């Protein structure tokens, strides 16, 4: 509902800070409100927000129209009450069986407007009980490792889980509970079985190569199960769906996927890439490989899987032979064994 609803002992999650904290104190300077916050680890920080000043009806301001737009009105917002044909200001929030917004009108009278159901704050105990039941029902294999707390409709999940994909499932489950106004997590992934970075990298590459031939120029970094991917893709569907597919990879601790949609002259680019693919197919040394060619901005990028360094070198030479004026980037990976059918094709 806004900064002006914050009070001492409220839980907060500040932008740019990875910790949940509680408000220790709040005071007002000339032009700003200053909050002193204690993080969960005991350290302290401060955060300031602009002071919401009084208004004059003739000032060039935006007004919240009440009671139609009670939803989203913050304390301090200037308002115009349609039925009473008068200006005013939101001045408070009263918690109870039904939460209500307090509004001071131009004649200094106070009226109370009941907040819509979506903004009613459920009791913390009720939210936690319903959330625990939902997790045990819908995410039973992870529920025992999760501790829940609640404050003013915001659920905070802490603990450990076995799979990275479980965090997304957990957030979706909790967000569907009536009365929940937000979900935060401080969950650490602890896989039941550890995988080497090489195994995780190969698993992710295989998923990317098999995904509709619409991801290319892939840059992948994996350290201790923490994966970062930067790549180009052809459409919004791929950009939206691929992270959900990749996070199911066993052994992942964290996953960051940055996919950028890149338009291109499909006809010209594809013809040049097809010619290059034909040359690679004619090379006996490249039989049994899985290679894709992405052609963009006068640069040909080779991606895929081979079983030896000599095959990787042969692919580079064949690509250069196709067009000596091109820049060639060879991102082919060398692995022990290739599963599935061999191919050399255009991405």
- State whether 256 and 270 are in the same domain: no
Dihedral angle sign, alpha carbons of residues 4, 9, 10, 14: positive
Look at residues 119, 146, 168 and tell me which one is the last residue of a structural domain. 119
Summary mean pLDDT of the chain: 81
* Arithmetic mean of pLDDT, 158-186: 89
Give the total number of structural domains in the chain.
4
- For the cut 90, the answer to whether the pLDDT of residue 166 exceeds it is yes
Look at residues 88, 119, 150 and tell me which one is the last residue of a structural domain. 119
- For residues 25 and 252, the model is more confident at 252
* Arithmetic mean of pLDDT, 225-242: 88
Strand partners, 94: 100
* Arithmetic mean of pLDDT, 302-307: 91
Identify the CATH number of the domain in which residue 252 sits. 3.30.1340.30
Q: Which two tokens stand for residue 17?
A: 């800070």
Look at residues 95, 119, 143 and tell me which one is the last residue of a structural domain. 119
- State whether 27 and 90 are in the same domain: yes
Query: From its phi and psi, is residue 266 left (phi > 0), alpha (psi between -120 and 50) or beta?
Result: alpha
- State whether 48 and 83 are in the same domain: yes
Q: What is the pLDDT of residues 59-91, one digit of tens each?
A: 444 677 788 777 667 778 888 887 888 888 888
Instruction: Report the range of poorest mean pLDDT among 113-117, 123-127, 252-256.
Output: 113-117
Whether the Cβ atoms of residue 232 and residue 219 lie closer than 8 Å to each other = no
CA-to-CA separations, 202 to 195, 241, 242, 308, in angstroms, rounded: 11, 20, 16, 15
Q: Which two tokens stand for residue 41?
A: 């680890």
Q: Which two tokens stand for residue 144?
A: 């025992």
DSSP reduced 3-state for 175: helix
d(CA 131, CA 133): 5
Residue 71's pLDDT is 67
- For residues 167 and 85, the model is more confident at 167
Residue 174's pLDDT is 92
* Arithmetic mean of pLDDT, 263-285: 76
- State whether 141 and 46 are in the same domain: no
The H-assigned helical ranges of the chain are 124-138, 140-143, 165-175, 197-209, 236-246, 266-281, 309-322
Q: What is the pLDDT of residues 326-340, one digit of tens each?
A: 788 899 999 888 888
Instruction: Report the range of poorest mean pLDDT among 6-15, 105-114, 332-341.
Output: 6-15
Domain interval for residue 100? 3-119
Query: From its phi and psi, is residue 183 left (phi > 0), alpha (psi between -120 and 50) or beta?
Result: beta
Whether the Cβ atoms of residue 1 and residue 77 lie closer than 8 Å to each other = no
- State whether 133 and 182 are in the same domain: yes
Residue 133's pLDDT is 94
Other CB atoms within 10 A of residue 24 CB: 13
Residue 57's pLDDT is 47
- State whether 11 and 106 are in the same domain: yes
Length of the chain: 347
- State whether 272 and 253 are in the same domain: no
């Amino acid at each position: 509902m806004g900064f002006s609803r914050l009070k001492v002992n409220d839980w907060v999650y500040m932008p740019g800070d990875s910790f949940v904290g509680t408000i220790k104190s709040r005071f007002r300077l000339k032009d700003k409100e200053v909050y002193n916050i204690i993080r969960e680890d005991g350290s302290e920080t401060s955060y300031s927000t602009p002071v919401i000043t009084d208004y004059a009806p003739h000032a060039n301001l935006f007004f919240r129209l009440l009671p139609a737009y009670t939803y989203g009105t913050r304390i301090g917002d200037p308002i115009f009450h349609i039925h009473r044909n008068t200006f005013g200001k939101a001045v408070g929030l009263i918690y109870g069986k039904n939460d209500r917004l307090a509004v001071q009108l131009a004649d200094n009278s106070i009226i109370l407007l009941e907040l819509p159901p979506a903004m009613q704050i459920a009791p913390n105990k009720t939210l936690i009980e319903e959330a625990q039941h939902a997790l045990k029902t819908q995410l039973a294999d992870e529920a025992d490792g999760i501790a829940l707390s609640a404050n003013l409709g915001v659920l905070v999940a802490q603990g450990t889980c076995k799979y990275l994909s479980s965090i997304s499932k957990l957030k979706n489950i909790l967000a569907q509970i009536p009365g929940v106004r937000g979900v935060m997590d401080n969950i650490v992934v602890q896989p039941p079985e550890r995988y080497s970075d090489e195994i995780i990298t190969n698993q992710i590459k295989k998923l990317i190569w098999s995904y509709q031939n619409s991801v290319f120029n892939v840059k992948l970094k994996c350290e201790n199960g923490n994966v970062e991917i930067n790549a180009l893709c052809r459409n919004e569907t791929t950009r939206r769906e691929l992270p959900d597919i990749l996070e199911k990879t066993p052994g992942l601790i964290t996953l960051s996927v940055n996919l950028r949609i890149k338009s291109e002259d499909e006809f010209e680019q594809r013809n040049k890439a097809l010619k290059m693919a034909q040359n690679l197919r004619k090379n006996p040394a490249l039989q049994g490989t899985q290679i894709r060619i992405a052609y963009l901005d006068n640069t040909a990028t080779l991606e895929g899987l081979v079983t030896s360094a000599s095959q990787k070198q042969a692919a580079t030479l064949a690509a250069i032979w196709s067009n000596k004026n091109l820049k060639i980037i060879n991102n082919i990976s060398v692995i022990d064994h290739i599963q599935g059918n061999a191919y050399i094709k255009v991405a």
